[in-house]
């Protein structure tokens, strides 16, 4: 009797496995639950059921069953990792770290970009200054809505709603209708039903969307199941992969559907995005040769519309897990979704940071409220750089995946250059101190070699910034970040320092230069001398200077001594001729070739411009009052 009663359960398990392998996870989960209730092959059914919920992006139920799985004897080690991921999706971050460590201790290999690499990541993300703020939209449905892309007052998005249609074809993975592409007015409060589907040939009987559209509005790139001319093509495993198609707008109808050269029947290519000048197409794909899961690729768009050879954008962005939904904003910043980088839950949204060479150097989690403990993806930013959309299946939404609008308050900073008031040269290593409206010090730093500084500040506050350097008198500026435009990201506060009086060699004025073996004042030198005359007569009537002249190394020592004295004399006489009192020039000396500014000594092979740097006269301020 026992052996006969097992036959129905064997058939039921086979049916559950068939549904699982066909990605019909909702139906498979129901059958695995029945197997567990009947205590038939319970350990196996529990593992499969937990995996079903993981694929359905339901961490609550996934963690509930993974909790039982990890108690099983001889459980495969990867289930420790899966349990850790589901706990992360439940915001149980401390417990998630424990099971991730258990995975590692049991021989599991953790991706170098895994969330465990930064134990303080969660704290830092939640403690970061909030840049993004959520805005309400009204066109979500009880089904899946995502991929919102704004263009010319319209918002295009993908949805499984099909509301108003009497017969719906259901997708076995999650028992929802297939995706179609919809369009609505930005800010609409009306219900968006089947009548809002984009007109033309882009919507098929399978999945369609999301989309991106060129700036001129004539070309659309969109994702779709491998379905062309009413023929569905499958790979060797019997799966229908995704492709990116191109459509053109003719008489308000999207038509001329084109299968792109980057596609294949054997792997998926989807999530199209264009760079700023629309010369490159970014996309995600699980094609062979990637780092794992799906990776982000880029391909050149030639002038004739043909595409080049796809290039993987590298392991700074791509991980052993999945990356997708790339988007490029007006500043050329790549945004994408990933479950392989340190995150708050399942899929999180990340931005990229470029290095000095222009290449992507790092990625940064956008933090809350853009990211949550659930799936967050399909991030786009509008032309203004301030507003945009993303999608999430977080708690509190109307349906499965919901579209969220946001507005951004970019990081604001004060920046400037500290310069010498006499010669306008930058002053490096100046101490910059930032005070609030109550004169409390809130930040300080030193200027770089170009006298430049930059400090992040809050909006809607008053500040004072002070520059200090030992040889100079302090300078300060009062400024405010109140009532400024949201788009503004920089407040400029340059600071000008005057040398302290009665200190030897307080500041050096700009040098003048001479031709080889000559001491006459050149036209360019006369311009600099006239500036000095103006400073001494108009700006600093008590300033006293001294003159030091030099030669290059060519010629003998005695001759160069005399030549440098002649240069000092001609400089002195020019200033006196312009009205500068002789007593305001304490000395005018020549030093020959004894004080070269570089290594161009006798016997060294130097270019003419290097010798020119040594044929100079310098001006040194010795007194200000």
**Strands 132-135 and 170-171, how do they pair?**
unpaired
At the topology level of CATH, where does 5-127 sit? 1.25.40
CB-based contact 619:516 (threshold 8 Å) = no
What's the CATH code, domain 132-408? 2.120.10
> For residue 13, what pLDDT band results from cuts at 50, 70 and 90?
confident
Treating both helix axes as pointing N-terminal to C-terminal, what angle do 93-105 and 78-89 enclose, rounded to 10 degrees? 170
> Is the model more confident about 427 or about 121?
427
What rounded mean pLDDT belongs to the chain? Answer: 86
Highest-confidence range of 87-91, 208-212, 224-228, 273-277, by mean pLDDT?
Answer: 273-277
Q: Domain limits of the chain? A: 5-127, 132-408, 412-499, 503-623
Tell me what the mean pLDDT of segment 222-236 comes to.
76
Summarize pLDDT for 242-278 with one digit per residue, the tens.
899 999 999 989 999 999 999 999 999 999 999 999 9
CB-based contact 109:124 (threshold 8 Å) = no
The pLDDT > 70 percentage for the chain reads: 90
At the topology level of CATH, where does 503-623 sit? 60s Ribosomal Protein L30; Chain: A; (3.30.1330)
> For residue 192, what pLDDT band results from cuts at 50, 70 and 90?
confident
Tell me what the mean pLDDT of segment 210-222 comes to.
95
CB atoms under 10 Å from CB of 501, counted, come to 13
What's the CATH code, domain 412-499? 2.60.40.1120
Q: Which pTM value belongs to this model?
A: 0.62
CB-based contact 474:442 (threshold 8 Å) = no
Closest CA to 337 of 249, 242, 401: 401
CB-based contact 329:336 (threshold 8 Å) = no
In this model, does residue 166 exceed pLDDT 60? no
Closest CA to 15 of 50, 57, 46, 45: 45
> For residue 599, what pLDDT band results from cuts at 50, 70 and 90?
confident
Helix (H) or strand (E) holding 528: helix 523-534
Tokens linked to 402 = 């919901």
Note the pLDDT of residue 597. 86
Note the pLDDT of residue 625. 58
- Phi and psi at 553, nearest 5°, equal -85, -10
3-class DSSP state of 285: strand
């Amino acid at each position: 009797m026992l052996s006969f009663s097992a036959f129905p359960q064997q058939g039921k398990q086979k049916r559950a496995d068939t549904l699982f392998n066909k990605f019909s996870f909702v139906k498979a989960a129901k059958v695995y639950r029945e197997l567990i209730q009947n205590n038939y092959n319970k350990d196996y059914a529990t593992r499969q059921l937990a995996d079903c919920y993981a694929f359905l992006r339901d961490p609550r139920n996934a963690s509930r069953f993974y909790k039982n799985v990890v108690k099983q004897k001889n459980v495969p080690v990867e289930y420790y990792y899966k349990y850790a991921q589901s706990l992360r999706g439940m915001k149980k971050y401390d417990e998630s770290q424990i099971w991730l460590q258990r995975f590692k201790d049991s021989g599991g290999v953790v991706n170098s970009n895994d969330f465990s690499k930064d134990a303080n990541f969660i704290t830092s993300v939640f403690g970061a200054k909030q840049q993004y703020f959520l805005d309400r939209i009204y066109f979500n449905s009880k089904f899946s809505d995502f991929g919102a892309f704004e263009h010319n007052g319209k918002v295009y998005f993908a949805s499984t709603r099909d509301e108003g249609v009497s017969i719906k074809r259901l997708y076995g993975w999650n028992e929802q209708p297939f995706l179609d592409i919809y369009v609505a007015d930005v800010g609409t409060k009306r219900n968006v039903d089947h009548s809002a589907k984009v007109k033309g040939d882009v919507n098929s009987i399978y999945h369609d969307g999301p989309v991106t559209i060129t700036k001129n509005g004539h070309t659309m790139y969109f994702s779709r199941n491998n379905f062309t001319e009413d023929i569905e093509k499958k790979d060797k495993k019997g799966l229908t992969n995704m492709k990116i198609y191109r459509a053109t707008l003719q008489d308000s109808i999207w038509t001329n559907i084109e299968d792109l050269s980057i596609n294949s029947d054997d792997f998926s290519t989807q999530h199209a995005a264009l760079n700023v000048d629309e010369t490159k197409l970014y996309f995600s794909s699980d094609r062979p040769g990637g780092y794992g899961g799906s990776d982000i690729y880029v391909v050149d768009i030639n002038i004739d519309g043909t595409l080049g050879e796809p290039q993987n954008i590298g392991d700074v962005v791509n991980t052993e897990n999945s990356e997708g939904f790339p988007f490029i904003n007006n500043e050329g910043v790549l945004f994408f979704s990933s479950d392989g980088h340190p995150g708050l839950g399942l899929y999180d949204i990340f931005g990229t940071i470029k290095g000095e060479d222009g290449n992507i150097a790092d990625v940064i989690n956008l933090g809350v409220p853009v990211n949550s403990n659930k799936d967050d993806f399909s991030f786009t930013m509008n032309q203004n750089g301030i507003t945009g959309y993303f999608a999430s299946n977080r708690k509190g939404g109307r349906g499965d995946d919901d579209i969220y609008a946001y507005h951004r308050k970019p990081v604001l900073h004060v920046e400037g250059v500290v310069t010498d008031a006499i010669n306008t040269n930058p002053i490096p290593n100046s101490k910059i101190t930032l005070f609030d409206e109550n004169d409390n010090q809130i930040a300080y730093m030193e200027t770089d070699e170009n006298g430049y500084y930059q400090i992040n500040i809050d909006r809607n506050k008053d500040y004072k910034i002070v520059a200090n350097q030992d040889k100079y008198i302090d300078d300060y500026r009062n400024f405010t970040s109140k009532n400024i435009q949201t788009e503004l990201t920089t407040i400029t506060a340059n600071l000008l320092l005057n040398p302290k009086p009665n200190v030897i060699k307080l500041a050096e004025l700009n040098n003048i230069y001479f031709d080889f073996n000559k001491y006459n004042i050149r036209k360019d030198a006369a311009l600099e001398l006239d500036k000095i005359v103006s400073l001494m007569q108009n700006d600093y009537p008590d300033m006293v200077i001294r003159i030091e002249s030099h030669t290059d190394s060519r010629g003998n020592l005695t001759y160069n001594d005399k030549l440098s004295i002649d240069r000092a004399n001609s400089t002195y006489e020019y200033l006196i001729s312009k009205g500068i009192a002789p007593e305001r020039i304490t000395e005018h000396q020549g030093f020959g070739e004894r004080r070269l500014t570089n290594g161009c000594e006798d016997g060294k092979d130097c270019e003419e411009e290097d010798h020119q740097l040594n044929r100079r006269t310098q001006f040194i301020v010795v007194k200000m009052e």
